[in-house]
Amino acid sequence: MTHKSLFIRCSEQTYKLAHALAKKENRSLNKQMIHMIHSLADEKNVTVDDHVEKEDVIVHQTPVEPKWGLTGLVETRKQGFDDQ
């Protein structure tokens, strides 16, 4: 099994709630988040096919011109949440 990292940006209140849930369940924060994801997936009957072909998971994007110097650092992007 390959391990991947998942970084979550959240408010301080959400962070404290996550820690409180983990503590109540006697889990580390990491194990609590994994438990919650798997529990919700089971509840919603969501599965992942481990044998997906590599070509099926490629996201097709418009090519982006390379940025030179500091222009690549000076960008503003709006974070979108399609799953809400």
Is 17 within a domain?
yes
Is 77 within a domain?
no
Is 80 within a domain?
no
Count Cβ atoms below 10 Å from residue 19 Cβ, excluding itself: 13
DSSP codes joined into one string, 1-25 = -----------HHHHHHHHHHHHHT
At residue 84, the pLDDT reads: 42
Is 60 within a domain?
no
54-77 per-position pLDDT tens digit? 555 545 455 666 666 665 555 555
Alpha helices in 1-84 (DSSP H): 12-24, 29-43
Number of domains in the chain: 1
- Average pLDDT for residues 26-45, to the nearest whole number? 95
Phi first, then psi: give them for residue 39, nearest 5 degrees: -65, -45
- Average pLDDT for residues 36-55, to the nearest whole number? 81
Is 41 within a domain?
yes
Is 79 within a domain?
no
The residue segments making up the domain with residue 38 are 10-48
